[in-house]
Structure 1
Amino acid sequence: MQIAIFSDVHGNLPALEVVLNDIEERGIHQKFCLGDLVDFAPWGNEVIEKIKNLNIPCLMGNHDERIAFDIPVIPLTKHSEEETAARFLAIDHSKKYITKENKKYLSELPFHLKLNYKIGKKHWNIQLVHSSLKSNDTYLYESENDNIFIDLLNDSQSDVVIMGHTHLSFKKYFDGKWAINSGSVGRSREENRLASYVILTLDEDNITPEIIQLEYPLEEVAQKIEESEIPNYYASFLRNEKLSVF
């Protein structure tokens, strides 16, 4: 039994299509999205419509919530002045161009999702969150104290908790249980900038996670950003050019 989990598409349709094609080629039928479909690349509506049309269960990321309910943008101290200015413009672009129907779809997404799969005599509990159980805007990095992830596993009463939000993939093992970040499909903060997702392989005895990272037509995406009203900052970010980012 295999399950594919991905997150943080951020309007990057070409990256999403590469990930979905890879999942299909592997013959994986169970797939889930952890949210943040919009902002920073020009295909916000197209990404939403693809997720809708494929009936992929999806969580409400913090960016989805902001666009759905027109929540004001609050500057983050970790962002440079350059990124802060670009962020305001990019989110305003989404608020302007995401359709009313698609905003309604975003507004109805669940906050988190608990899965239970029975393999033989074993029931596996898998907790999906955008960033944590209580917030979709909490930054949990691989460097956090292990107790944070152990508490999350205990609070959710799960064998695996999978999150996104930080755009940095990792997997941490705790005595038979896993805390995993799937990374980002469309706006990776990793050095390689590849589209990232996670495959869970379940059998009666174990859950085995694998982080998959894929190339996609990144330069094509960067050029489309530059042709749009979205700040060129996000094209430079994808190219991993030197920027004032955290």
Structure 2
Amino acid sequence: MIQIAVFSDVHGNLPALEVVLKDIEQRGIRQKFCLGDLVDFAPWGNEVIEKIRSMSILCLMGNHDERIAFDIPVVPLSKHSEEETNARFIAIDHSKKHITKENKKFLSELPFHLKLNYKVGERHWSIQLVHSSLESNDTYLYESENDEVFENMLKDSRADVVVMGHTHLSFQKQLKNGGWAVNCGSVGRSKEENRLASYVIFTLDEEKITPEIVQLPYPIDETARQIKESGIPDYYASFLKNENVLIL
């Protein structure tokens, strides 16, 4: 039996990341992978990057990582309210100003996606890691997608499982062909009602792969307080506390 842990979308939230990493350690899981989006919306972008670097955790390049690494302009999104649009511009600009040159270089060198292969007994299992899809790190794929979308991803990557983040909404979906499409949710900016830090554990044995989504509480009030004391808009503190803020 082999176990691996996959997490995503930390978004500068060091307290949430520390809770997730501690839980993984306590379970004795040594294989850890991150699907990207280490930065933006909480004040510990550098600390999060340095934690990932110091632990040699393999990490993908999320769309926010790419934007900060290469100073890509922020484009307003039609789905966002005027309030969120303004907050988003300020928060991302905060990252562009505060993420160190060395950490931006680290982000710029992250892989776009990664395929894992594990041998358990006589069986090989292939696990495709993406931030959002094979072609893009900014595509929104939800549980409600037609199964064919995920089946094609598995076929194109020749994998048994495709694991993604980006939407901040976790799900696990077994397809007719026996493969899995799994979203591990978000560590630091969950859009689920409970706002818990989310990640996924995969247990691999010779007969099957079993995903388990784990969701953990972390000190949200303290995190929100420190957001309010930083140059990041209070909008994101209110979001973490689920105070009637709608973020799409």
The answer (yes or no) to whether the contact 1:90–1:231 under 8 Å persists in 2 is: yes
Structure 1 segments, 4+ long, off by >3 Å, are: none
1:7 matched to which residue of 2? 8
Describe how 1:45-64 pairs up with structure 2 within 5 A: 45-64=46-65
Q: What code does the residue aligned with 2:111 have?
A: P
**What displacement does 1:245 show?**
3.0
Q: What code does the residue aligned with 1:46 have?
A: E
**What displacement does 1:61 show?**
0.2
Please give the per-residue CA displacement for 1:167-188, whole angstroms capped at 9, x wherever unaligned.
0000110132100000000000
SS at 2:72 equivalent: coil
1:166 matched to which residue of 2? 167
Cα distance between partner residues in 2 of 1:17 and 1:60: 20
Cα distance between partner residues in 2 of 1:18 and 1:202: 24
**What displacement does 1:243 show?**
2.1
SS at 2:221 equivalent: helix
SS at 2:119 equivalent: strand
Aligned residues: 246
Q: What code does the residue aligned with 2:184 have?
A: S
Gaps of 5+ in 2: none
SS at 2:214 equivalent: strand
Cα distance between partner residues in 1 of 2:87 and 2:148: 35
Does residue 125 (structure 1) correspond to residue 126 (structure 2)? The answer is yes
Structure 1 length as normaliser, TM-score?
A: 0.99
Describe how 1:130-145 pairs up with structure 2 within 5 A: 130-145=131-146
Structure 2 length as normaliser, TM-score?
A: 0.98
The answer (yes or no) to whether the contact 1:82–1:244 under 8 Å persists in 2 is: no
2:238 aligned to which of 227, 236, 239? 236
The answer (yes or no) to whether the contact 2:239–2:246 under 8 Å persists in 1 is: no
Superposed CA RMSD? 0.6
Cα distance between partner residues in 1 of 2:158 and 2:83: 41
Gaps of 5+ in 1: none
Q: What code does the residue aligned with 2:204 have?
A: L
Please give the per-residue CA displacement for 1:62-92, whole angstroms capped at 9, x wherever unaligned.
0000000000001111111111110000000
Cα distance between partner residues in 2 of 1:75 and 1:4: 34
Please give the per-residue CA displacement for 1:209-231, whole angstroms capped at 9, x wherever unaligned.
00000000001000000000000
2:158 matched to which residue of 1? 157
Q: What code does the residue aligned with 1:212 have?
A: V
Cα distance between partner residues in 2 of 1:19 and 1:232: 24
Describe how 1:1-246 pairs up with structure 2 within 5 A: 1-174=2-175, 175-246=177-248
Cα distance between partner residues in 1 of 2:147 and 2:61: 26
